[in-house]
A and B are shown apart, each in its own frame.
Chain A
């Protein structure tokens, strides 16, 4: 009978190198979008004299603020490992409901859309969290449903509700402070709150845990289903609020708005370094992603000779680069 010793040589673990790599990867993930944004701004400022003006910057900021608010909710959803395709339709529905309710005053114009859009988000969240249906399918149904509801309210788009000219509601989207529109301040404020919510509250930590490893989160005693419901509720509320702001800015509820907005929001979130599979991401990255999309559009408009549709081509290219880099980073991890 032969006897073999159990081989007891421990593998040397290059802890130092691994951890340094982790730090670099985290840095690239968190601040990659910011670095690219800074680069694009610097180059554009040098090339186009009309780019680095206060007026132009203000324009980019106000145009980006609506997408930014929608993308904020999307960031939370994607970090939980989900997706919310309904936000474009919900955004449009929120706008129409705000314009419709503005005849009764500014408060109903704010509360009615938030209630309806919140309810849509809540319903989607409940379906996803408690029936185990795929977020993609549930929110696709939400996209179609909200758009249908919108068309029903406006008689297939035949009615466009206008905000009364003297309504205080118009102040929300059109008012300015130090020459900068209110929507910009609101977006910045919401992002600050969102950052605190994500990084410094138990709910935020649970969002990361649910996306990073739902089984582990459940075993650690986190209320996984409730976290999911809250997250889709948040996304619905934010999309609705962005719609309200937009209606106030345009003085009317435009039915055809928001088609494909969900895709811009997803693109901004992913460009901002949030993992599409969930578990990691930042709201500051999303803000950079939104601004990057806004600046690209602005620059292409500056070039003049280029059709503005090229904006999508460039944004798409960025998206591919970001995803390739992300995949590369995580593949190296798996190989170690």
Chain B
């Protein structure tokens, strides 16, 4: 291998309470396409931010073209030749394509004014080289997302980049646009530009990348040629589990339910949404926990959000035999669905309100008569649920923000349970809560299912999924790639389903 253009040696980065990167090394050679993979929280984005000058490492060194570097801000990294393409296109939508391409380095006439004619001509030529034929005077937003991404790429490369970091560049692209992007990436690598490619889409990695570095929990767990690593091994490296470990008995508080041939309460048919969901169908039975499995970005959360109408999608959702025609969260609640979102801080808990207020928030309309809410009724309900869910709070009047993560989660659960839902969708219900509380929440989910509630469980913790779910629908790239039930519900089988070669190419 030739002299690496980028050489990261033993970099560590600590945030309050977390060691985000622990002695991570990475080398990238000119012309190499290097895959950087890992699940959420593995440290990918922290590493990227160190490379681009957003963060400074606490320990370790970054060598760029043989010299140690410490970029103070993104601009310095860019000026040195390390450009980044972000997941979301980071350009100015209202400005013209050409102006976006040349912003900050416009060609000027001898009077110091921008030479608009030359700028437009050169912009057109540059983009044509990447196969994009557009009127460069139009605002950027009139282009498709793929073309916008290509403008960002053209911009990144035009500033004499030696290293281009691409952070999930295809997450919002059409398949056709992805092909164009890949062609450009290969061309860049042919010109000796090193590319660090971050993606959750395994197919893309295998199509494009030479080597791979796998991060897990802030540590580098593997670096090597991608071709020598099969999909199953790559996934087990990312998830940190191997087949032998998987067969061992689980540690979670779940037990199996036998829903047998009970009539499904929820039927989802052909749920589709551009770029994200492709014809997803599954059923959920009362008294059973149905798991939605898949890697990050596989469409798990999107599926749940689409079912409750929080995300627009085509397809049929039938709840208790009635098809929901106009889908909205309000309609879903009326139909008996309740969803616990993934990010409980942003989407669920109201930190300034008390435990009682948080619990009865959603039930207000049913508890009130002529707009007046009976306090006695409230207290009775809150008391019941605090006992039943074993919520540990000094009193119902304690502020929710003072509770532990596990208890906050239970408060949210209580909020939805007082609506007497028939279907509960839980998106990562145990993320960010400690081990003890985790088992309690898991046991609770179990109890609820045993009481006849239908539960949909989303979790990136394979163990939790396997132990908790009676049936698992496996998603990949927004499509159902497998369904496991009974004895087939094993971590091994999930990984096999995730690792399958896609059947289309």
Decide whether A and B assemble into one complex: yes
Chain A positions near chain B (C-beta within 8 angstroms): 1-8, 10-11, 13, 15, 18-19, 22-23, 26, 196, 199-202, 205-206, 208-209, 212-213, 215-222, 275, 279-280, 333
Proximity bits, B454-485, A CB within 8 Å = 1, else 0: 00000000000000000000001111111110
Report the separation of the CA atoms of residues A18 and B142 in the bound assembly, to the nearest whole angstrom. 7
Residues in chain A near residue B135, CB distance under 8 A: 19
Whose C-beta in chain B lies nearest to the C-beta of A15? B144
Q: Is the CB of A280 within 8 A of B94?
A: yes
Q: Is the CB of B114 within 8 A of A205?
A: yes
Q: A7-B479, A15-B144, A196-B113 are in contact. Are A22 and B138 (CB under 8 A)?
A: yes
Report the separation of the CA atoms of residues A3 and B175 in the bound assembly, to the nearest whole angstrom. 20
Considering the complex of A and B, which 3 residue pairs feature the smallest CB-CB distances, nearest first? A7-B278, A212-B92, A221-B75
Q: Is the CB of A4 within 8 A of B272?
A: no
Known: A6-B502, A208-B94. 19 other contacts (CB 8 A): A2-B483, A3-B481, A4-B481, A5-B479, A6-B278, A8-B175, A8-B504, A18-B142, A200-B113, A201-B112, A205-B103, A206-B103, A208-B95, A213-B92, A216-B90, A218-B74, A220-B155, A221-B78, A222-B103
Instruction: Please list 15 pairs of residues, one from A and one from B, whose beta carbons are closer than 8 Å in the complex, sorted by A's number.
Output: A4-B479, A5-B504, A6-B476, A7-B479, A196-B113, A199-B116, A205-B95, A208-B95, A208-B99, A213-B90, A216-B90, A219-B86, A220-B91, A220-B155, A275-B94
Residues in chain A near residue B174, CB distance under 8 A: 10-11
Residues in chain B near residue A199, CB distance under 8 A: 114, 116
Q: Is the CB of B106 within 8 A of A205?
A: yes
Q: Is the CB of B176 within 8 A of A216?
A: no
Whose C-beta in chain A lies nearest to the C-beta of B86? A219
Residues in chain A near residue B142, CB distance under 8 A: 18-19, 22
Proximity bits, B98-139, A CB within 8 Å = 1, else 0: 010001101010001110100000000000000000010011
Partner of B74, one of A7, A22, A206, A221: A221
Tell whether B59 is near chain A: CB-to-CB under 8 Å: no
Residues in chain A near residue B488, CB distance under 8 A: 1
Q: How far is the CB of B319 from chain A (nearest CB, A)?
A: 23
Tell whether B93 is near chain A: CB-to-CB under 8 Å: yes
Which residue, A22, A208, A213, has most C-beta atoms of chain B within 10 A?
A: A213
Report the separation of the CA atoms of residues A218 and B478 in the bound assembly, to the nearest whole angstrom. 33
Q: Is the CB of B92 within 8 A of A1?
A: no
Report the separation of the CA atoms of residues A5 and B139 in the bound assembly, to the nearest whole angstrom. 36
Residues in chain A near residue B482, CB distance under 8 A: 1-3
Q: Is the CB of B104 within 8 A of A216?
A: no
Tell whether B497 is near chain A: CB-to-CB under 8 Å: yes
Report the separation of the CA atoms of residues A329 and B90 in the bound assembly, to the nearest whole angstrom. 23
Residues in chain A near residue B344, CB distance under 8 A: none
Residues in chain A near residue B108, CB distance under 8 A: 202
Q: How far is the CB of A217 from chain B (nearest CB, A)?
A: 7
Partner of B90, one of A1, A205, A215: A215
Q: Is the CB of B104 within 8 A of A212?
A: no
Which residue, A10, A19, A200, A217, has most C-beta atoms of chain B within 10 A?
A: A200
Q: Is the CB of A220 within 8 A of B90?
A: yes
Q: A220-B90, A220-B103 are in contact. Are A212 and B114 (CB under 8 A)?
A: no
Q: Is the CB of A200 within 8 A of B75?
A: no
Q: Is the CB of A209 within 8 A of B75?
A: no
Whose C-beta in chain A lies nearest to the C-beta of B475? A4
Q: Is the CB of A13 within 8 A of B144?
A: yes
Q: Is the CB of B502 within 8 A of A1?
A: no
Q: How far is the CB of B145 from chain A (nearest CB, A)?
A: 10
Residues in chain A near residue B103, CB distance under 8 A: 205-206, 209, 217, 220, 222
Tell whether B279 is near chain A: CB-to-CB under 8 Å: yes
Report the separation of the CA atoms of residues A209 and B93 in the bound assembly, to the nearest whole angstrom. 9
Q: Is the CB of B484 within 8 A of A212?
A: no
Residues in chain B near residue A15, CB distance under 8 A: 144
Q: How far is the CB of A288 from chain B (nearest CB, A)?
A: 20
Report the separation of the CA atoms of residues A13 and B78 in the bound assembly, to the nearest whole angstrom. 33
Q: Is the CB of A212 within 8 A of B93?
A: yes
Whose C-beta in chain B lies nearest to the C-beta of A197? B113
Tell whether B227 is near chain A: CB-to-CB under 8 Å: no
Tell whether B246 is near chain A: CB-to-CB under 8 Å: no
Residues in chain B near residue A216, CB distance under 8 A: 90-92
Whose C-beta in chain B lies nearest to the C-beta of A13? B144
Tell whether B225 is near chain A: CB-to-CB under 8 Å: no
Report the separation of the CA atoms of residues A273 and B205 in the bound assembly, to the nearest whole angstrom. 46
